[in-house]
């Protein structure tokens, strides 16, 4: 397979850094972490293109959570952060902009946001119709480079 679907989007293999039996880890097109964390922000999602968490079967749900745990451990070590924000926006009214279950894994350091919960406002801006000009889409080369940094931590499966 040359890529996976993320809702309506085709994700190229170069953006994938993690694969389990039922999930993948991808780098984010428009990460929200501030520059103190090198603008990183990754996603974990089921391989099956399914919109809502409740639509996953038990095996997919377990695999997604175990994958998030593995990816989070690596992200924390690799980027030298001290914590993670891990969140699922489940449905459009919750701020989900891509109709495919996915968990955001965002590295955190002390003082990265003035108010710790401001991260949720940042995640919610698209839902509120706010176009955050600071969050420019990254190039394929930038995303591929980040995925290449993370890939060696994992044994990729198909």
Residue 15 marked ligand-binding? no
Residue with tokens 């894994």: 105
Residue 41 marked ligand-binding? no
Q: For residue 150, which of 47, 32, 59, 38 has the smallest C-alpha distance?
A: 38
Question: Of residues 41, 78, 100, 102, which has the active-site annotation?
Answer: 102
Whether residue 78 lies in the annotated active site: no
Residue 97 marked ligand-binding? yes
Say if residues 102 and 45 touch (Cβ distance below 8 Å). Answer: yes
- Within 10 angstroms of residue 71's Cβ, the number of other Cβ atoms is 26
Residue 95 marked ligand-binding? yes
Residue 139 marked ligand-binding? no
Coil, strand or helix at 3: strand
Say if residues 105 and 71 touch (Cβ distance below 8 Å). Answer: yes
Residue 115 marked ligand-binding? no
Active site residues per annotation: 102
**Binding-site annotation, residues for substrate:** 9, 28, 89, 95-98, 104
Annotated binding site: 9, 28, 89, 95-98, 104
């Amino acid at each position: 397979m040359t890529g996976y679907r993320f809702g309506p989007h085709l994700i190229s293999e170069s953006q994938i850094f993690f694969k389990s039996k039922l999930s993948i880890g991808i780098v984010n097109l428009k990460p929200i972490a501030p520059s103190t964390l090198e603008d990183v922000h990754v996603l974990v999602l089921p391989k099956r293109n399914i919109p809502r968490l409740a639509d996953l079967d038990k095996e997919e749900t377990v695999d997604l959570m175990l994958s998030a745990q593995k990816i989070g451990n690596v992200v924390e070590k690799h980027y030298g952060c001290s914590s993670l924000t891990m969140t699922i926006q489940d449905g459009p009214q919750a701020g989900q902009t891509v109709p495919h279950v996915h968990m955001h894994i965002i590295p955190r350091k002390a003082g990265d946001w003035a108010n710790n919960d401001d991260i949720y406002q940042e995640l919610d801006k698209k839902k509120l119709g706010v176009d955050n000009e600071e969050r420019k889409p990254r190039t394929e080369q930038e995303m591929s480079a980040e995925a290449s940094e993370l890939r060696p931590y994992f044994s990729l499966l198909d």
